[in-house]
Amino acid sequence: MLRRLSAQERSVGELAEPLEMSLAAASKHIQVLERAGLVEREIQGRIHVCRLSAAPLAHVQDWLKFYERFWNQRLDALQALLEAEDAAAAKKPRKRKTKR
């Protein structure tokens, strides 16, 4: 729903149609998005028109950036450790088996 609203505002019916859900189910989903501050709904006669309110997504982006840095650092450290182990293993002389 958010992706479709990012292109343009849509009615509840337009949001429900490609998802094969009832208007009541779509309305419940939209209510959750409204409570999260991601969707604004305007009533125009009998039609409820929804539009995206993307400002709260900036907080999510900041949160994701923090964890992206965290995991990049962790994965870089793991890669360095594995490369050091590989280098150490390559330096050790291999024991040869002798045939009897």
Residues 12 and 45 in one domain: yes
Residue 70 lies in a domain: yes
Evaluated on CA atoms 61, 62, 66, 72, the torsion sign reads: positive
State how far the Cα of 52 lies from the Cα of 86, in Å rounded to an integer. Answer: 51
pLDDT in tens, 14-61: 999 999 888 899 999 999 999 999 999 999 999 999 999 988 888 888
Q: Where are the alpha helices (DSSP H) in 19-54?
A: 23-35
Residue 100 lies in a domain: no
Other C-beta atoms closer than 10 Å to the C-beta of 5 total 21
Residues 40 and 61 in one domain: no
Residues 35 and 70 in one domain: no
Residue 62 is which amino acid?
Answer: D
Q: Which domain holds residue 46?
A: 2-53
**Predicted structure pTM score:** 0.61
